[in-house]
Structure formats: C-alpha cells, structure tokens
Amino acid sequence: MAANSRVTIAAHALAWLELARQRGRPWMTSDEVAASVKTNPVILRRSLGDLHKAGLVRSRRGAGAGFSLARPAEEITMLDVWNAVSPEPLLALHRTEPNQECPVGAGIKPALTDTYDEATEAFRAALARRTIAGILEKILNT
C-alpha cells in the first residue's frame, strides 16, 4: 500500500525520547533513535527535523549533540504529530478537472470538499485525544 508510515516513525521517536528522558538521558542522537525504530539515521533526522519545525523537539548540533522533547509528553498529541509530518489530505479530489458542462461535473467539487473536510475533522479530533505520554504508558503496560 501507499499510505506512508511517517506518523508511526515520528510517534515512535517521540515515545523513545520521553522514555530516555525518564531514565535520565535527555539527549538522544539520531543513531540511537534509529536503532530503536530499526531504520536509517537519515530517516530519523528528517522526521525529527519535521518535529523540530513544528516545535515538538529541540535539537543540538556539534559534539555531544542530539534531540530532546521541547514540551512535556502529556502536551504532545497525536494530532500535533500528524500535523507536523503529514501534509497530505486523506482524500483527493479529481486528478483532472471534471466536465464543467455536465451539472454533476460542474458542482461536485464543493459538495465533496464539504464531506471530506467533515470526515477529516473527525479524524483529527480523534488524534487530538491521544498524547505521547498516553501512548508510552500503554506501551509500558503491555
């Protein structure tokens, strides 16, 4: 399938940063996070870069560098994560403009946009109810 796994990667990284913080390791390198996710460090630097732009993590360069959470894990929701890494709409309209001379073709876009926006908003609201702290708690109690 084509759906990307960036939200998953980012949530994993954030949960791991929070667990490390609780264990007294507030700064983690992209190599260390990549080892937990089991992928390439560059993937993590890109993902953490998105989270950095969104203000969810801090980064330090130079020797002894790394990443750490920029806010308490209780205040980072899955919606924040989704907003940070997933700019795509869930449902796409027509790839090519429909026939404007047909009544359906001429008017369908706003009708579907309404429906898609409504469904997307419900999806976002559900993500907003979960936090990284909650995810981590569930992980540790399994």
Partner DNA sequence: TGCCATCGTAACCAATCCTATTACAACTAT
Partner DNA sequence: ATAGTTGTAATAGGATTGGTTACGATGGCA
Write the Ramachandran bin of 4: left for phi over 0, alpha for psi from -120 to 50, otherwise beta: beta
Q: In the 3-class helix/strand/coil scheme, how is 32-81 assigned residue by residue?
A: HHHHHHCCCHHHHHHHHHHHHHCCCEEEECCCCCEEEECCCHHHCEHHHH
Binder of DNA out of 12, 17, 20, 67 (CB under 7 A): 67
Interaction between residue 90 and DNA (CB under 7 A):
no
Partner whose binding site includes residue 60, from DNA, its own copies, none (CB under 5 to 8 Å by kind): DNA
Task: Based on the shown chain and the rule CB under 7 A, indicate whether residue 62 belongs to the binding site for DNA.
Answer: yes
Q: Which does 35 bind (CB under 5 to 8 A by kind): DNA, its own copies, none?
A: its own copies
Cβ contacts of residue 111 below 8 Å, gap of 6+? Answer: none
Applying CB under 8 A, the residues found at the interface with its own copies are 1-5, 7-9, 11-12, 15-16, 19, 35-39, 78, 88-99, 102-105, 107-108, 110-112, 114-115, 118-127, 129-130, 135-136, 138-140, 142
